[in-house]
A = this chain, B = another copy of it.
Amino acid sequence: MNERTLIKNLAAASDGPTSVSGWVETVRDQKKVQFVVLRDESGAVQLVHPRAFNEDGTPADDALADTISALSQGSFVTASGELKHDERVKLGGVEIKLDALDVASHAIPETPIADDSGVDKRMDWRFLDLRVPKHALIFKIQTTLEHAWRTYWVDNDFIEIHTPKLMASASESRAELFEVEYFETKAYLAQSPQFFKQMAQPAGFGKVFEVGPAFRADPSFTSRHATEFTSVDAEISWISSHEDVMRMHEELMVAGIAAVKEKHGEAIEALFGFELQVPTTPFPRIPLAEAKRIVAERGYEVPRHDDDMDPEGERQIAAYVKETYGHDFVFLTDYASSIRPFYHMRNEADAGLTNSYDLVYNGVEISTGAQREHRVDVLIEQAKEKGLDPEELDFYLDFFRYGVPPHGGFGMGLSRVLMLMLGLTNLRETTYLFRGPNRLLP
């Protein structure tokens, strides 16, 4: 391993010999002194090289100066020299007086994207786009968020599962399904781990979680949809209703956001310009019918003919919740059975409603959760009502025939959570490599 010091650690290091590695952000090639700003994954530092001169004032032979003059922006180098603390240096209060510069890899001098490039162009060159500290920060936050979630789950005795993404049939619906050539037959890409995380319930696993890819052959080109996304899923046994799922879900969100604020709160303020709020529990809960009344009173009539909320309705109810309770989250509950999948349990008192919810964060839905129907006869009836063929679902229905505890869970889009947490408007920004109907590269 090269013995580099991370740039963020230079400020606390003593003056003296040091070595850093990273990529060249800028070169100022002046007559008397050369300056290089070098960045690594932790920060940026100024490298300085005073040119050598002969006694008569003409430039002396200076191989290091020639190396610096030839440096293209983006090249990866290792720099060694003397670390010096100097309060006048704006960039971190330190600089390195160069002794040597070893170029590991020269960059093509013409950078194909600029600060003002459009998002599609930036996605074409995602590996360069991610060098921008603000963009890289998103994935550091992702790391912290996921680790806090998993730590919550592990501390609460959840089992981590990896369900197969290759399936013999659809998991949610026949629509939006990717088909795979599978030896002599066809397979389909899982639209969610729904059936298989439910399988952990009759298996007696108790509580499970999974973070993994899901696939939707969705031809839409919105800023909120992707054909492949990272799904965050949990499923728990012995619940009394969806209320138990919501309680776990809100604890999880608090654990995640608190960890992000603790580790990245300052960086978020510096690069995104706002202070991250850790939500309090319980999150507000509003039955969907009531949410529609509230939204209507605010002067917005949801223009959908089914019973669902639309994006503007979600924004409106979120605004109401923010004004009324000062909260960034709201659970919309009791969705109509007409717009929920067959496996959602219906409300005991009103079969037109389900024991389900959507979680809205800063005005956009990030998750759907529910109690599942575990009584196989009821489940079969509900599947038929939705026009599904119970025979095709037989492998799934078997999960319920040999004993199963009451259970429920949720699925949540990772990139959506990050997008809403950071006040962004496009999933492309919070996905490492976005996939859409016309985006398979890089």
Contact = CB atoms under 8 A, between A and B. Distances in A.
A204 B150 contact: no
Contacts of A78: 238
A405 B164 contact: no
Given A2-B239, A166-B440, A196-B432, 13 more contacts: A4-B238, A6-B157, A21-B238, A23-B405, A41-B207, A105-B406, A139-B159, A165-B165, A165-B215, A165-B228, A168-B441, A180-B181, A182-B217
A55 B390 CA distance: 52
Interface string A130-159: 110000100110111011001100100111
Contacts of A21: 237-238, 405
Contact of A204 (B131, B146, B182): B131
B196 A433 contact: yes
A406 B206 contact: no
A417 to B, nearest CB: 13
B178 A182 contact: yes
Contacts of A247: 1
Contacts of A22: 204
Interface stretch (A281-289, A295-303, A393-401): A393-401
A277 interface: no
A212 B146 CA distance: 14
A333 interface: no
A395 B238 contact: no
A401 B24 CA distance: 14
A202 interface: yes
Contact of A440 (B161, B182, B404): B182
A187 B179 CA distance: 10
A1 B247 CA distance: 10
B212 A403 contact: no
A370 to B, nearest CB: 15
